[in-house]
A and B are shown apart, each in its own frame.
Chain A
């Protein structure tokens, strides 16, 4: 499916550019897009390097395992095919907590690491497993408690109460997270039914 989406974005874009006479913008966009992507990745190097280094210490010292043991009763049901003491659980929990506190740049490394562990659990196949899709769904819905970026934008534009949207964001994010989990379950059971 990704292949089709990817090609359609290009083809539809190019057809439109032809009709609209925006081919010049598209030419610019191609290289702007590419350099933006590389810039993001370069920015990720520092973050990934630092956090994965630190998390390795957390893993080796048993901190990650301890965290999973304390918190896994809450998340176990979300990821039924991950063993309780598996490092994947620790990374999943770190990823979720980092998201909650709005630490986006710490959440990404933990999420990737969790994916890596989940892939190993799935026998190293290049196919997304059930838990991987659940983790992804939770991340796209991004459970946030403190939306730091938005607060800073609101402050910039001299809002009387920059933090007044914290409450609505928490509620909305809770809805989308619950929604994501339910939709994820729905598709999972549909997949199973199809297989049988």
Chain B
């Protein structure tokens, strides 16, 4: 564990130092260039706001109304049939929709079942192995103004599904 933490702490500062020293050696006006790039960052963050507000309000309404729970209970028997543990179903379904929701649920599962239980390990693996598809889609495409998303959403959601199935199979094989 010790070395993982040490490496994590050193990565970012090392990257920063390397970029700055390399830039200086190549005679790049570092500070002016930084400011020039940073300005784009400011603009970009503001341009994401409308997309994220639209998407997040819709998702929050969906969750708060109880509709999400209803759909989860609808899917539960089917998912249980193909071998997905009942406790993990809500996490699997919320993971692509809401990052904070999934994180809350993961901590909750770990707290109730214990981090070293089967469910605890499975929740940890699932949380780490996929990302919030809706968020990634909204932020990445929103920031650069892509309106026609093509197959992106379908691909993202199917990949999430594979991640869930893979987590279950792998955790079962390794820890059982």
Min CB–CB distance B15 → chain A (angstroms): 8
Cβ–Cβ contact A22 & B65, under 8 A:
yes
A83 within 8 A of B: no
Cβ–Cβ contact A6 & B23, under 8 A:
no
Cβ–Cβ contact B136 & A139, under 8 A:
yes
Given contacts A9-B62, A60-B23, A172-B126, contact A137 B41 (CB under 8 A): no
Interface string of B115-145 (1 = CB under 8 A from A): 1100011001111111111001101110111
Q: How far is the CA of A44 from the CA of B3 in the complex (A)?
A: 29
Instruction: Name the B residues within 8 Å of A187 (CB-CB).
Output: 151, 154-155
Q: How far is the CA of A174 from the CA of B8 in the complex (A)?
A: 21
Min CB–CB distance A174 → chain B (angstroms): 8
Given contacts A146-B4, A160-B116, A175-B166, contact A127 B147 (CB under 8 A): yes
Q: How far is the CA of A57 from the CA of B125 in the complex (A)?
A: 36
B75 within 8 A of A: no
Q: How far is the CA of A128 from the CA of B61 in the complex (A)?
A: 28
Cβ–Cβ contact A126 & B171, under 8 A:
no
Q: How far is the CA of A44 from the CA of B61 in the complex (A)?
A: 23
A contact residues, range: 35 or more
Q: How far is the CA of A126 from the CA of B114 in the complex (A)?
A: 47
Cβ–Cβ contact B8 & A140, under 8 A:
no
Cβ–Cβ contact A112 & B133, under 8 A:
no
- Taking CB atoms and an 8 Å cut-off, the chain A residues in 16-43 that contact chain B are 16-17, 20, 22, 25-26, 28-30, 32-34, 36-38, 40-42
B159 within 8 A of A: yes
B79 within 8 A of A: no
B86 within 8 A of A: no
Q: For A37, give its contact among B57, B132, B136 (CB under 8 Å).
A: B57
Q: For A172, give its contact among B11, B55, B167 (CB under 8 Å).
A: B167
Q: For A49, give its contact among B38, B66, B163 (CB under 8 Å).
A: B38
Cβ–Cβ contact A53 & B38, under 8 A:
yes
Interface string of B1-43 (1 = CB under 8 A from A): 1001001100110011001101101101010011111101110
Min CB–CB distance A141 → chain B (angstroms): 5
Cβ–Cβ contact B152 & A133, under 8 A:
yes
Cβ–Cβ contact A2 & B149, under 8 A:
yes
Instruction: Name the B residues within 8 Å of A115 (CB-CB).
Output: 140-141, 143-144, 146
- Taking CB atoms and an 8 Å cut-off, the chain A residues in 139-188 that contact chain B are 139-142, 144, 146-151, 153-154, 156-169, 171-173, 175-177, 179-180, 183-184, 187-188
Q: Would you give 12 A-B contacts (Cβ < 8 Å), ordered by A?
A: A12-B65, A22-B66, A44-B48, A44-B139, A61-B25, A116-B144, A141-B160, A164-B121, A166-B4, A169-B129, A172-B125, A187-B151
